[in-house]
């Protein structure tokens, strides 16, 4: 079935054609008809399956069919998301698909002045994509009225629970009319997600895509055993071997992100860095530069692991393995999206081996090892511009001596 065969408005079909949307993905094929009928939907779909369009297309059609001439100060559809980046991205998808519909779409999030957002809300908004903090702030200031919401969408619901937003999710229901359509989207399903979902949806249509394998089949995985202090040399080598490749690097903390960024600067590699400690304007400009390909290396924390769609990422590098196994799936889901192939490379140090084991247990399969012999390991460090050549040999010899002592102690 093609999008041109759906009973949706010509305006939406026109924008879908311009965007190159010809046939629906599995989640779109299963979700769109139910949403158009007004059913509540509980959808479990892995990252990169096209779930944003799965709810944006039918919702825009439904709203376009309704009389919204007297919409001052009201909101028709509320999309709750866990992060600012997701709010911005989902608002962009709604705007692209709704380009010819004349519907008003607003991304509502913190980190920016609220005045412009408040002015738009006064005129009324058809689709509001909001993070809980800024949304409830404006509700309490009486700048935001949710009493006319007809459709509630919870996106990345499992991540919202991880971030402690369960009270916010339940609280928002108090501000909504009793009769409304609820669309619940999550990448994973467990007891807590089920309890929440069935608490807020009515007889939902349940949709589950690829439940047995949480990782896209378009991603090629590998793990390289590299000690913590040597990881920067191997990242340098990867970037220099593939200078035109778009690479997304995940580290565990804000401090680590800045350190890796500084290490790349020392060897003349231009990169971007992004984490929760950055101002919102900085985060937006970094994302834009990376998306446009002005700079092809982005070092980030898990702030970019969930839901963010950055076109054309060739490599995801787990510079640090994630503490939570599930986050591995979300990280590597930034590549291999749609029909594109992607590479996921993990640098695993000795102390991270238990994390690797937990990831493999979660995925129910082993990650193939990228074998590095001792000569390659040494050459990678020796060719780096980050340390003087007369020092690297000494460092390696010291490391070998430490390993030999450790082996003798075991005996």
Q: What is the pLDDT of residue 56?
A: 97
**Residue 334 to residues 8, 174, 247: CA-CA distances in angstroms?**
30, 35, 10
394-407: buried (b, 16+ CB within 10 Å) or exposed (e) per residue? eebeeeeeeeeeee
Question: Is 143 inside any structural domain?
Answer: yes
Mean pLDDT for back-to-back runs of 10 residues, the chain (411 residues): 89 93 91 95 81 94 79 89 88 94 92 90 94 92 93 89 84 91 86 84 85 66 94 94 92 93 93 84 83 90 72 92 86 78 93 94 90 90 69 56 64 56
Beta strands across the sheet bearing 272-274: 219-225, 342-348, 315-318, 247-250, 297-300, 272-274
Looking at the domain assignment, is residue 126 inside a domain?
yes
Note whether 164 and 233 are same-domain residues.
Answer: no
Tell me if 405 is assigned to some domain: no
In a domain, 161, yes or no: yes
Radius of gyration of the chain (CA): 24
At residue 410, the pLDDT reads: 59
- Pair (198, 266) in one structural domain: no
Q: What pLDDT is recorded for position 262? A: 94
Structure tokens at 97: 């698909």
Q: Please report whether residue 213 resides in a domain.
A: no
Question: What are 345's two structure tokens?
Answer: 């490379």
pLDDT score recorded for residue 312: 85
* Statement to judge: residues 27 and 87 lie in one domain: yes
Residues 80/144, Cβ–Cβ less than 8 Å: no
Please give the order of strands across the beta sheet that includes 75-80.
105-108, 125-130, 75-80, 151-154, 181-186, 41-44, 205-208
Enclosing domain of residue 333: 219-396
Q: How many CB atoms lie within 10 A of CB 324?
A: 15
Q: Are residues 143 and 236 in the same domain?
A: no
Q: How many domains does the chain have?
A: 2
Q: Which of 30, 81, 26, 33 is nearest to 50 (CA)?
A: 26
CA dist 24 → 96, 135, 333 (Å): 16, 32, 19
In a shared domain, residues 267 and 178: no
Considering 151, 173, 208, which residue would you say is the last residue of a domain? 208
Judging by beta carbons within 10 Å of its beta carbon (0-12, 13-18, 19+), is residue 43 exposed, middle or buried? buried
Any domain includes 72: yes
- The pLDDT of residue 211 is 47
User: Is 118 part of any domain?
Assistant: yes
């Amino acid at each position: 079935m093609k999008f041109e065969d759906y009973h949706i408005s010509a305006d939406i079909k026109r924008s879908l054609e311009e965007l190159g949307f010809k046939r629906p993905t599995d989640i779109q094929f299963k979700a769109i008809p139910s949403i158009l009928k007004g059913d509540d939907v509980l959808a479990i779909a892995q990252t990169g399956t096209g779930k944003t369009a799965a709810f944006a297309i039918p919702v825009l059609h439904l709203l376009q069919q309704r009389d919204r001439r007297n919409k001052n100060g009201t909101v028709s559809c509320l999309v709750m998301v866990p992060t600012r980046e997701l709010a911005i991205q989902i608002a962009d998808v709604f705007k692209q698909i709704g380009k010819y519909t004349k519907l008003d779409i607003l991304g509502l999030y913190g980190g920016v002045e609220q005045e412009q957002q408040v002015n738009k809300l006064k005129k009324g908004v058809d689709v509001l994509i909001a993070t809980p903090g800024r949304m409830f702030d404006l509700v309490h200031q009486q700048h935001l009225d949710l009493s006319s919401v007809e459709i509630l969408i919870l996106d990345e619901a499992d991540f919202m629970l991880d971030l402690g937003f369960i009270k916010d999710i339940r609280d928002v229901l108090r501000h909504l009319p009793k009769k409304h359509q609820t669309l619940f989207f999550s990448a994973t399903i467990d007891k807590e997600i089920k309890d929440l979902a069935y608490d807020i949806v009515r007889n939902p249509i349940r949709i589950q895509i690829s439940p047995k394998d949480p990782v896209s089949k378009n991603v090629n995985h590998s793990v390289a055993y590299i000690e913590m202090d040597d990881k920067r040399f191997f990242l340098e080598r990867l970037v220099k071997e593939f200078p035109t490749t778009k690479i997304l690097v995940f580290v565990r903390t804000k401090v680590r992100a800045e350190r890796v960024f500084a290490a790349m600067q020392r060897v003349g590699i231009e990169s971007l860095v992004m984490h929760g400690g950055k101002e919102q304007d900085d985060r937006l400009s970094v994302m834009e530069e990376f998306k446009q390909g002005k700079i092809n290396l982005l070092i980030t924390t898990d702030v970019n692991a969930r839901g963010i769609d950055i076109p054309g990422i060739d490599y995801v590098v787990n510079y640090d393995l994630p503490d939570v196994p599930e986050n591995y799936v979300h990280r590597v889901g930034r590549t291999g999206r749609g029909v594109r192939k992607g590479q996921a490379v993990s640098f695993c140090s000795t102390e991270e081996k238990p994390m690797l084991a937990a990831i493999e247990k979660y995925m129910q399969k082993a990650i193939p090892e990228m074998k590095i012999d001792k000569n390659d390991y040494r050459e990678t460090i020796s060719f780096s511009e980050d340390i003087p050549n007369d020092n690297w040999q000494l460092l390696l010899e010291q490391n070998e001596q430490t390993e030999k002592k450790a082996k003798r102690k075991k005996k």
